[in-house]
Amino acid sequence: MNLLINLLGLALIVGIVWWFWLSKRAAPAAVAPAASVIMVKDGVYEPERIQVPVHEETTLHFLREDPSPCAEYVVFADLDVNAQLAVGEETEVKLPAMEAGEYPFTCQMQMYRGTLVVA
Amino acid sequence: MVESKKVFSLHGASCASCVNKIETALNQVPGVIQARVNLAEKTTSVWGHVDEDACVLAIEQAGYGAELATVSDRELREQQREADQKHYRDLLWRAGLALALGLPLMAWGLITGEMSVHAPAQQIAWGLVGFATLAVLIYCGGHFFTGAWKAFRHHNASMDTLIALGTGTAWLFSMLVVVAPQLLPEMARHVYFEASAMIIGLINLGQALEVRARGRTSAAVEKLLQLQEVSARVLRNDEEVDVPVDEVQLGDRLRVRPGEKIPVDGTVLEGSSLVDESMLTGEPVPVKKAQGDFLSAGTLNKNGSLLFTAEKVGSETRLAQIIEMVKNAQNSRVPIARLADRISAVFVPVVMVIAVLAALVWFNWGPEPKVAHMLVVATSVLIIACPCALGLATPMSVMVGVGKGAEHGVLVRNGKALQQASKLTTLVVDKTGTLTEGAPKVTDLETEGDKDELLRLVASLEQASEHPLAEAIVDAAQERGIRLSTVQHFEAIIAHGVRGEVDGHKLLLGNRKLMLRENVDVDHWQAAVEALAGKGRTAMYAAIDGRAAGLIAVADPLRSDARSAIQRLKNLGLEIQMLTGDNGATADAVATQLGIDCVHAELLPEDKENIVADLQAKGGHVGMAGDGINDAPALARAEVGFAIGAGTDVAIETADVTLMRSSLHGVADAIELSRATLRNIKQNLFGAFIYNILGIPIAAGLLYPITGSLLSPVIAGAAMALSSVTVVSNANRLRLFKPSEVNA
């Protein structure tokens, strides 16, 4: 019994490390087009990876359903862009032309996390 | 992909049949899932994946007008406040409900000590309590579980994950005790339903208090938004018509009466009045406005009626730009937060690993009841850890600090500028326009002949010059009512002066070099020139028909508060250096009057940037204060560029810190505010780090050998709820910030 619980505990640790770090890096989530409506709800942006064209201005569409103040702003720290999101209504966020690469976007507190894939 | 909602404003819809027509027309547009008209608000909402233009066209073809509705900043803020209120009440209700179950259960446990399952009757009783707790978990804490699940699916973990795991584990273990107590040692048959309910209740309560406290952090932007007038009185066909401010067009003529706010930016056509600009500049004294003067939207017309032309409307007004800049700055990242950002990105999974490890340690080496201890330790570790306190630490302080700056007429571009301003060791100040008024005036006129005649001749000569000093001489003549003659054969000699012919006399006006070049003997006036330079004035020699005729001295008056501002900056520990294109004697005189020790005189514009670079190369953290136009390269080179331009558009766009008030006190205010904000951020970060660094080991049972007991998960929940509230409340303390000295 003791051995079983210890093994279970170790398996849990391995599972946490694998799920939250290793598998995430190995297989990033599917990339959605820039025209998608990004839902802001339950602590996640959905879709969370958005593909935008390189060297082109882009408009993203956010639909915030989480009324908590955590979700009020979306911040693109690398681009110096942020926007206040209306509750229950679509908010457009205009982004400048970008070089190829990945740019994170988050809420103010960095609890909501998403990634712009510029390619 | 989800369906999206678009809202259009309607024109011409007034009856129930219009509603049907519009909805039918929209429902035929490809991609529309549902269309609904709100006749009272004259809007229609469309759900689905639709093209906006197609919807507008469909409504127009049905005989009505439509455009995509835009939400103004003010509406957005009001909407957010309503949402906050609703969310606050919702959280309080959930907290109350969960605590209504948790508190009696906890009291029962404390009073009777009977929280274990040893008999079938207890199984039934605790089973019922278990289902009641489940209902509380689902109704009051369901959002934690859905959030945790969604985050998990995205390989993410958030605070929801910790709460869901903590309360879920406690409930599952307790249900195991209820359903199959025989599987556990007798000492471990303890239920923890009260912990699940209490934790959910306390965390909802903490979040409610946080919503309240956070509402106050954006008070500054709300104040600015309130300055925006909603309607304007426009002159149409010589009649004054009230229209929504959005409909004001460029070139419209507008009327503002005493006591009304200026609705858009513009220039006064008729009338004069005192205008209170304190809300934008922090300057308490109202400013007199008359024909040709500029009016800013949001300022208050005090006592006269003004007619003015609209020159900037909507998002182009200075007020709108200030609001935009403040909002952007409030959400920008501060370099000091990088460590917290990195930690919060991996925080939750690390805490989960620690919880499992702590549980295993207690299982293998802890005293009996090992299983119960495992559960308590794992739950407490999961619940006490608070990534939110870390995440909140910086943004809340920046929100309040940047907002507070705006209240004092100090606009900070971003968090980086705010942080750098707190570390400055040297402030380089441009003289003209920063320490002085920037508008030279004639101060002395010395001649052995007729003073007015000399002034008439040199002013007539200077009419053709574009030099700022020439303007001062022409202004002086006009003030005395002197009629000027025309100038012929005018020539500007670079770095020397000017020459020309007025009324048949050959005139020269310039420095000693010009007189030497033209063989004019000026030794007689040399002592007077040196005396004037000693007072900080720029003296020029005048010669008529080849003979020295006198002196004319011009000075740019010092700003009345420059000396006290310099003293404040010195008190802040800054070394002040003055830059100027003036000659050394004049510059030294000004520096002496102001108490500035280091002066760089006779500079060309490009020299200023080099001086800033040299100071930086010597290891100084250099700030530069200038008027934002002529000093652009030096302002850009400095770690923090302070533009004292009373908020010109150029300054707002380029400077790190824009001072709406034309006073060096604004620089001192900005530096004091940045230091206060950084201190606040450090307190928050330190508090959040220490809380987690101490809290997690204590929850893991580190103090058990001393205290003989483990930290209750309920206490862990209360501590966690309080930690976020404490961080936000500490940030709100910045709202009490006051500059050390207001406008001496």
* B545 given a catalytic annotation: no
Q: Which of A6, A19, A48 sits opposite B360 (nearest CB)?
A: A6
Residue in A29, A86, A109 nearest the CB of B76: A86
CB atoms within 10 A of CB B180: 11
Backbone angles phi and psi of B198, in degrees to 5: -65, -45
Q: Under 8 Å CB-to-CB from B25, ≥6 apart: which residues?
A: B58, B59, B61, B62
Q: Which of A8, A84, A106 to mutate to test the interface with B (most CBs of B within 10 A)?
A: A84
Looking at the complex, report in whole angstroms how far the Cα of residue A59 sits from the nearest Cα belonging to chain B: 14
- Please report where in the chains the tokens 């969604």 appear, as a residue: B150
CB contact under 8 A, B357 and A13: yes
Report the 10 Å Cβ neighbour count for B612.
Answer: 27
* Residue B19, pLDDT above cutoff 90: no
> For A18-61, what is the HEC assignment?
HHHHHHHHHCCCCCEECCCEEEEECCEEECCEEEECCCCCEEEE
Rounded (5°) CA angle B308-B313-B316: 125
Q: Predicted confidence band at B645 (pLDDT cuts at 50, 70, 90)? A: low
Give the pLDDT confidence score for residue B413 in this predicted structure: 86
At residue B693, the 3 state secondary structure works out as helix
B364 touches chain A (CB under 8 A): yes
Tokens representing residue A38 in the block? 């990004």
**What pLDDT score was predicted for residue B314?**
83
Contact B279, B228 (CB under 8 A): no
The pLDDT of residue B1 is: 41
Would you state the pLDDT for residue B2?
44
Residue of B nearest to A32 (CA): B1
- Mapped onto helix, strand or coil, the DSSP state of residue B76 is helix
B698 CB contacts (<8 Å, ≥6 apart)? B384, B711
pLDDT at B647: 47
State the pLDDT confidence band at B229, using cuts at 50, 70 and 90.
Answer: confident
pLDDT score of A73 more than 80: yes
- Chain A residue with Cα closest to B156: A20
Distances (CA, A) of B401 to B179, B408, B708, B723: 55, 11, 45, 21
Arithmetic mean of pLDDT over chain B: 86
Residue the block writes with tokens 């369906």: B3
Rounded distance between C-alpha atoms, residue B219 and residue B404, angstroms: 9
Nearest to A39 by CA among A76, A77, A74: A74
Residue numbers in A near B73 (CB within 8 A):
84
| Confidence bin at B649 (pLDDT 50/70/90) | low
Task: State the pLDDT confidence band at B341, using cuts at 50, 70 and 90.
Answer: confident
The answer to whether residues A81 and A95 touch, using CB atoms and an 8 Å cutoff, is yes
CB-based contact A89 B352, cutoff 8 Å = no
According to the model, what pLDDT value does residue B672 have? 95
The reply to whether B333 touches chain A by the CB within 8 Å rule is yes
| pLDDT per residue as tens digits for the range B368-426 | 888 889 988 999 999 898 787 888 888 889 989 999 998 888 989 888 899 999 999 99
**In what order do the strands lie in the sheet containing A32-33?**
A32-33, A49-52, A113-118, A101-106, A73-76, A81-84
Query: What pLDDT is stored for residue B40 in this prediction?
Result: 64
Helix H or strand E segment including B9: strand B4-11
> For A36-45, what is each residue's pLDDT tens digit?
889 998 888 8
B639/B653: higher pLDDT: B639
Of A10, A44, A84, the CB nearest to B150: A44
Mean pLDDT of B576-587: 83
Closest Cα in chain A, distance from residue B336 (Å): 14
- CA atoms in the 13 A half-sphere facing the CB of B2: 19
User: Is residue B145 over pLDDT 90?
Assistant: yes
* Residue B487 structure tokens: 């100038």
Distance CA B306, CA B254 (A): 8
pLDDT in tens, B456-467: 999 999 888 877
In the predicted structure, residue B222 carries a pLDDT above the cut 50: yes
For an interface test with A, the pick among B90, B331, B351 (most A C-beta atoms closer than 10 Å) comes out as B331
From the list A6, A67, A111, the residue facing B83 with the nearest CB is A67
pLDDT at B53 > cutoff 80: yes
Contacts of A37 in chain B (CB under 8 A): 1-4
A13–B83 CB contact, under 8 Å:
no
Query: Three-state DSSP class for B530?
Result: helix
Q: What tokens does B410 get?
A: 């100090």
Q: Is B351's pLDDT higher than 90?
A: yes
What is the number of other CB atoms lying within 10 angstroms of the CB of residue A12?
17
Q: How many CB pairs under 8 A join A and B?
A: 132
Partner-chain contact B71 A6, CB within 8 Å: no
In sequence order, the β-bridge partners of residue A51 are A33, A117
Cβ neighbours of residue B36 closer than 8 Å, sequence gap 6 or more: B23, B44, B45
Q: Which of B6, B77, B147 sits opposite A90 (nearest CB)?
A: B6
B158 and A109 within 8 Å at the Cβ level: the answer is no
> CB-based contact (8 Å) between B328 and chain A?
yes
φ/ψ of residue B522, rounded to 5: -120, 15
Q: How far apart are CA B346 and CA B387, in angstroms?
A: 10
- Cβ <8 Å between A13 and B156: no
pLDDT, position B155? 84
Residues of B in contact with A84 (CB under 8 A): 73, 76-77, 80, 327
Please say whether the beta carbons of B306 and B256 come within 8 A.
yes
Give pLDDT, residue B4.
Answer: 64
What's the whole-number mean pLDDT along residues B316-330? Answer: 85
Euclidean distance between CA atoms B242 and B408, whole angstroms:
32
Q: Quick one: pLDDT band at residue B587, thresholds 50, 70, 90?
A: confident
Closest residue in chain B to residue A112, using alpha carbons only: B158
DSSP 3-state assignment of B432? helix
Beta bridge partners of A103: A116
Measured CA to CA, the distance from residue B364 to residue A8 in angstroms comes to 13
Per-residue pLDDT, B50 = 79
pLDDT class of A27 with cuts at 50, 70, 90: low
For residue B744, what pLDDT is reported? 43
Whether residues A87 and B83 touch (CB distance < 8 A) is answered with yes
**C-alpha count within 13 angstroms, C-beta hemisphere, residue B571:** 14
* Number of other residues whose CB lies within 10 A of the CB of residue B620: 17
Is the ipTM reported for this complex over the cut 0.90? no
Chain B CB contacts of A113 under 8 Å are 156, 345
Q: Rg of chain B over CA atoms, in angstroms? A: 36
Q: N- to C-terminal Cα distance for chain B?
A: 60
Using the predicted structure, report yes or no on whether residue B741 has a pLDDT greater than 70.
no
Q: Which residues fall within 8 angstroms of residue B483, CB to CB, at 6 or more apart?
A: B456
**A44: nearest CB among B6, B154, B364:** B154
The answer to whether the Cβ–Cβ distance between A68 and B207 falls below 8 Å is yes
Q: Which two tokens stand for residue B722?
A: 């309080």
Residue pair A65/A38 in contact (Cβ under 8 Å)? The answer is no
Yes or no: say if B262 and B275 are a contact pair by the CB < 8 Å rule.
yes
Q: How far is A100 from chain B (nearest CA, A)?
A: 22
| pLDDT confidence tier of residue B70, bands split at 50, 70 and 90 | low
Question: Which of B154, B328, B727 would you mutate first to test chain A, the one with the most A CBs within 10 A?
Answer: B154
* In chain B, residues 145-204 whose CB comes closer than 8 Å to chain A: 146-148, 150-152, 154-160
pLDDT band at B228 (very low <50, low <70, confident <90, very high): confident
pLDDT above 90 for B5: no
Sign of the Cα torsion B354, B359, B364, B367 reads: positive
- Count Cα atoms within 13 angstroms, Cβ side, for B364: 13
Residue B653 predicted with pLDDT over 80: no
Higher pLDDT, B744 or B694: B694
Asked if B192 and B379 count as a contact pair (C-beta separation under 8 A), the reply is yes
Nearest beta carbon to residue B158 from set A21, A43, A84: A43
Sign of CA dihedral B634, B637, B641, B646: positive
Task: Report CA-CA distances (Å) from B172 to B130, B132, B424.
Answer: 9, 13, 56
pLDDT tens digit sequence for B488-528: 888 888 778 899 999 999 999 988 888 988 898 888 888 88
In chain B, what residues touch A79 (CB-CB under 8 Å)?
none
Q: Which of A24-33, B182-191, B631-640 has the lowest mean pLDDT?
A: A24-33
- Tokens standing for residue A23: 């598998």
Q: What is the pLDDT of residues B251-295, one digit of tens each?
A: 899 999 988 899 999 999 998 899 988 888 777 778 889 898 899
Q: Which of B430, B582, B656, B669 is catalytic?
A: B430
Q: Which pLDDT belongs to residue B38?
A: 74
